[in-house]
Structure 1
């Protein structure tokens, strides 16, 4: 989910500023001639649609609309199915990449810097209001709002260092994943200080401008990283012991359903979502395993070429789309923040989606690479 620009004093802790989610594409570190994997691009493409719609719901639609059933479903779809998907896919491709440590580190730094400039760009209208109209907001909370690009950059840097460990990658990454989720609560409490600062929110802390701190969000790139190294073992288990695999999957479905109320409530509560703990993290990972499995089976059975091509293109160009849609939504939101009736949601969604696609397609033609 992405953060709503907290442009009004009474607004809740934003979504992920610039966040939006995510620029998970950031992780698609494909060597020059490596064949692209179809499912990750399709998952990211669908996640972009969820991402754009939730940004519009959070930033444009009024309280009544956000609190309606439609609003709650929108917020839920913008939760586990967006930023987490982006980060998991990113972690997988960092593990898969054959690039040198230095090149991967540099990529992480570039994405982190891109996050800084995107925060300025998407909040540009608001920053002008703060400077020239005297709006009573702290501009540093928007410039250094810990969005998904900041998270992606830091995660790539950390995962590139993790790759220096040549042995036991499955065990090490799994232990780190579990540790991040289990320690998120204590770390966030420990790093929440009365004095304002703009460094520790990148790591953790219950700050309103920290949407994607490393605790707990580093767990999801680690999940993708873990899956890459465990993939062959998982496939062998599924093929050799199908009955056991089906039993495990059924138990997972049952567990996710049992805790679905908790998962849904946290997904639609932005402060709780951005600073969630291990219970929600485990639930979300279980939900995404089920979601990915079902998605894979459906795509395998029903080949809808045009739709797949559309989603795959969006997934492949996720960084461009992420940046473009945020620049549009962020600056419009300053003028109409949470004032639009729910019946205007489709107009805003399809209009912004269309403009974002056109601009991204034109920029893609220039071969400009953002990171």
Structure 2
């Protein structure tokens, strides 16, 4: 039985992807709180490794793969729209750096009369985090759409980019101005969290996967096949990486610089695992209570907003709380508090936006507008 159709037949809402994104948001907040406030005494222990695992392979790769899937599924994936979206995300990424890093460090500098905080804040402004990287992804795909590049051509471009990453990864740029530009392309320093060459693979995997998914007539069979391949393959890849000291942050550096500056082997290990995780969640979804599904759906729709709000809260929380000082139970409670407050703020902001948007529309017109936007 052929489970694929020549035409796009599966273009509706994909619940398993929503679940993967919702859980990734939850793990993301947890790991960020942990990295700010976990005591060095428990570094490398079971709790630390668990949180870093949940907040790394099961978070950032999932987000970026789903960006690629979203570009396929979006009704607005024109070169012009993707370009505008890319610019807005770049600006949002650097704007968030100012809000969550620069401003709190200015306050700390004035409070402690220590100008080193200002230097730290200035350097942090131009860090390349996942929002700015997402902007680069949209700009990249705007060019793909503009020049109507085929899947084969896109694969050739990926090969070129991976070759470039092999040669450039770890190359240090002494000139600070040039380094600001280069750190967005490859891993030049510790402020280069999501360099383009190290992470574009995940978006491309999502882009190809999205095309397969839109033409799938039987997702149950598809995900069973993916699970059958990725489960044993993941085990083999992780064992191989451990035995041969493949450096993508999983074992020694615990998802820090080696994770952010990973090469093609790290891409392969984490992409295979991400596809395994998404496939597993497809079968888990049916057993989840309805209220949990509704909540996860809300988190998924508010991804960017939750990202910005939770990081802003964390950024300013260092003015009140002592960093790297808390044990597991304390960091868990702090993560739950920040996540809950973030979710509440998102609900409030969306209600305000909905009220403003609904003005001037009839109920039927407003309902239709919401359907188009979703």
Both structures adopt the same fold (TM-score exceeding 0.5): yes
Q: Structure 1, residues 161-182: CA drift from partner, whole Å, max 9, x if none? A: 112343632x233344454445
Name segments (4+ residues, structure 1) moved above 4 Å: 232-240, 244-247
Contact 1:80-1:267 at 8 Å conserved across structures: no
Q: C-alpha displacement at 1:246, in angstroms?
A: 7.0
Q: Does 1:111 align with 2:117?
A: no
Q: Does 1:309 align with 2:302?
A: no
Contact 1:58-1:66 at 8 Å conserved across structures: no
Q: Which shifted more, 123-132 or 215-224?
A: 123-132
Larger radius of gyration: 2
Q: Who is 1:154 aligned against?
A: 136
Question: With structure 1 as the length reference, what TM-score do the two structures score?
Answer: 0.81
Q: Which runs of 5+ in 2 are unaligned?
A: 1-10, 358-374
Structure 1 residues 259 and 237: CA distance shift in structure 2, 3 A: farther
- The equivalent position to 2:55 in structure 1, one of 71, 78, 81, is 78
Write the mapping of 1:1-371 to structure 2, written as runs, cut at 5 A: 35-99=12-76, 100-123=78-101, 124-130=103-109, 133-136=113-116, 137-166=119-148, 168-169=150-151, 171-190=152-171, 192-197=172-177, 198-231=180-213, 248-249=229-230, 251-259=232-240, 261=242, 264-265=250-251, 268-300=254-286, 302-333=287-318, 335-367=321-353
Q: Which runs of 5+ in 1 are unaligned?
A: 1-33
Q: Structure 1, residues 173-200: CA drift from partner, whole Å, max 9, x if none? A: 334445444542322234x213323111
User: How many matched pairs?
Assistant: 331
Structure 1 residues 323 and 259: CA distance shift in structure 2, 3 A: same
Coordinate RMSD, CA, aligned: 2.7
Q: Distance in 1 between matches of 2:32 and 2:219?
A: 40
Q: Distance in 1 between matches of 2:142 and 2:228?
A: 35
Contact 1:324-1:356 at 8 Å conserved across structures: yes
